[in-house]
Amino acid sequence: NAGVMQNPRHLVRRRGQEARLRCSPMKGHSHVYWYRQLPEEGLKFMVYLQKENIIDESGMPKERFSAEFPKEGPSILRIQQVVRGDSAAYFCASAPGTGGNQPQHFGDGTRLSIL
Amino acid sequence: GENVEQHPSTLSVQEGDSAVIKCTYSDSASNYFPWYKQELGKRPQLIIDIRSNVGEKKDQRIAVTLNKTAKHFSLHITETQPEDSAVYFCASSGGYQKVTFGTGTKLQVIP
């Protein structure tokens, strides 16, 4: 059973470009979460999605950031017009949609570097 | 919203000694408390979790305790080994699964 798959593992962008980060949840999981982690810091919640629905985006900046989890295909975290401060590791986690509190399983992350 | 505080931020122990990491949470509705281990450059991995209807849970050298009245929960690692060296995160979760993480504890086990 494949785990949470994120790609790319590393992404380099120049200031002003767009970054697209992809996350395929574990098989059978319908809940996806995105987190951001700066070096030597903790995990900051960004957004929680179910298929075709954003449930909670309270941790995501209102400008330049967007997320989706379409009916088919991976979840996408999109950062437009990237700036140096967007450099970080972005982790995706998934959980089953069975209700109640279930463990979240993390992908290997995407390390985003802004030149 | 939920606030999770974690102490200490760094912890050094001799191999074979025990390590204890403590967390407090603010939202009395939180009822699920996972712990994650993150090695350098790798993904956070779930190592143990506890639900609010249980006061203690143990898995080999790892145990977690929960005091709902005081809103405290702790991770205990016994007979520490060098491979236990990592950053450990506590977390809490309420009904719809948004998880709030602590700030992490960097554990160093000295051989």
- Give the tens place of pLDDT for each residue, B44-70: 999 999 988 889 999 999 999 999 999
Q: Which of A43, A48, A103 lies closest to B101 in CB terms? A: A43
Beta pairing, strands A75-79 & B10-14: unpaired
* Residue B73 vs residue B3, higher pLDDT: B73
User: A23: pLDDT confidence band, cut at 50, 70 and 90?
Assistant: very high
User: B96: pLDDT confidence band, cut at 50, 70 and 90?
Assistant: low
What is the C-alpha separation between B4 and B7, in angstroms, rounded?
Answer: 10
A45 contacts on B by Cβ (under 8 Å): 98-101
Write the CA distances from B6 to A31, B20, B100, B104, B109, integer angstroms: 26, 11, 12, 7, 19
* Residue B53 vs residue B104, higher pLDDT: B104
CA trace torsion B69, B63, B52, A1 (10° rounding): 160
**Interface residues of chain B, partner chain A, Cβ below 8 Å:** 1, 31-32, 34, 36, 42-46, 49, 51, 89, 93-104
Measure in Å the smallest separation between the Cα of B93 and chain A Cα atoms. Answer: 7
Give SS3 for A39: coil
Structure-token match 């509705």, residue found: B29
Give A26's DSSP letter. P
- CB-based contact (8 Å) between A57 and chain B? no
Q: Which of B96, B106, B107, B83 has the alpha carbon at shortest distance from B1?
A: B96
- Give the tens place of pLDDT for each residue, B63-84: 999 999 999 999 999 999 999 9
B46 contacts on A by Cβ (under 8 Å): 103-105
Q: Which of B25, B8, B20, B29 has the alpha carbon at shortest distance from B100?
A: B25
Give the pLDDT score at B17.
97
What is the C-alpha separation between B77 and B13, in angstroms, rounded?
Answer: 11
**CB-based contact A42:A110 (threshold 8 Å):** no
